Structures are given as C-alpha cells and as structure tokens.
Amino acid sequence: MKNDYTAFEEVLGYHFKDKSHLDTAFTHKSYANEHGGDEVSYERYEFLGDAILQFVASKELFLKYPEKSEGELTKLRASLVCEYTLSQITRDYGFGEYLYLSHGEELTGGKNRTSILCDLFESVLGAIYLDGGIEEAEKYIDKFLFTDIEHRSTFYDAKSILQEYAQSRGSKVEYILVSATGPEHNKLYEYAASIDGKQYEVGVGHTKKMAEQVAAHKTILALKNTN
C-alpha cells in the first residue's frame, strides 16, 4: 500500500478488504511509465467503472422516473455521467490528493485536471466493484451521484435552458471569451455567460462548447438561488 487511505475510506463510506485496489485506482499511466512498467495504471479499472456506471445510472433513472421517455432518460443520464459532473464530485471530495502522477504531470497541474478527475470517479468505482461487488458499487454511485439530481440534471441542456429563460424575458444570452491558455493540443478556454450585457458565471473547459456549457449551468444554478 502506497498511501494511507483511512480518511478517504471514511469519505467513501466503504472500507477495502484489499487496499491494493486503491493503489491501482489512483495510479495514472504517466506514473506507471515513469517507473519502468512496474506499476499498473488505472485504465482497466476506469474501463470497468465506466461500464458499471452506465448500467447502474440507467437502471436507477429507469426506476426513478417511470414517466420519462427514452430520450429524456438519455439526456438525464448524459448530464449525470459527463466529464464535468464526475470531475466536480471528485474535486469536491479530494480524490486528486491520492493520485500518483509522473513528476511532469504533477508539475503541470494533473491533480486538478478535469479529465483525470473524471477518470478517478470511474476507476474508484471499478475498484469498489472488484473488492466488494455490485451492491457496494451501487451504494457509491447513489451516494456521490444521485444525491443532487435536480442540480446536475440541467447540465446536458444548460445552454438551451438558459436561452429559453432569457427569451421568456425578452433578453439575450451571449458567451464572452475570458481567456484561452495552454498549447494547441491542450487548450483551456474560459467563457463567461452574459445576459443583456450583464456578466454572470464563468465556465472552463478544453473546448469552447464545454466552457460555454459549464458557464450556462453555473448561471442557471446562480439564478435559481437568487429567485
């Protein structure tokens, strides 16, 4: 065991019988490569966790919303299991603090990178399944993903929802580029949502569309809180 996972297991509400599953779940491929292939990265656990997440999320939404159509359920699932939602959860609960990265990845902010944090949600899910079975895996998903469906459900359609909100008030939504940083292959965009020239929330993403979607989603939540 590389790390002391006691505090993390308390956060999870699950205690591993075999802690080496957590070592694997937190080992990025850059760390494995840097250590001459002696380490196993989390990629296979992530693959497994992704499949479990899709199945469990589909089942839970199917049972929870009998009135929703297939299209509505698909959109809702997309909001819940997208990179933004999963990375927000792992960021909030400090998953990145346990991550094993190469020296270079760590220096360039890998522990806070959205794509990696999303991976960790799924790799930890895979680890829990391997250690404790499907019932414990479902508990993990329920605890971290299904506790705030109302807020998370708007992400997939955030731009459309904000557009409809503005139009119903005779207003206009625009997305303003705040910054674009980093090399071309790993660009990071920052966009602000603006309604009638008043700037609201800012979103960050590796594509313009993702940054705008994050900004729209955060603006929707902010507007709900003020109304």
Residues forming the active site? 50, 122
Instruction: Please state whether beta strands 188-195 and 173-181 pair in parallel, antiparallel, or not at all (unpaired).
Output: antiparallel
Q: Which residues, in sequence order, are CB contacts of 28 under 8 Å at separation 6+?
A: 41, 42, 99, 100, 101, 102, 105, 110, 116
Of 203, 201, 197, 196, give the one whose Cα is nearest residue 219: 201
* Cβ(19)–Cβ(132) below 8 Å: no
CA–CA distance, 44 with 127 (Å, rounded to integer):
10
Cα–Cα distance measured from residue 15 to residue 5, given in angstroms and rounded to the nearest whole number: 9
Residue 132 — φ and ψ, nearest 5°?
A: -130, -5
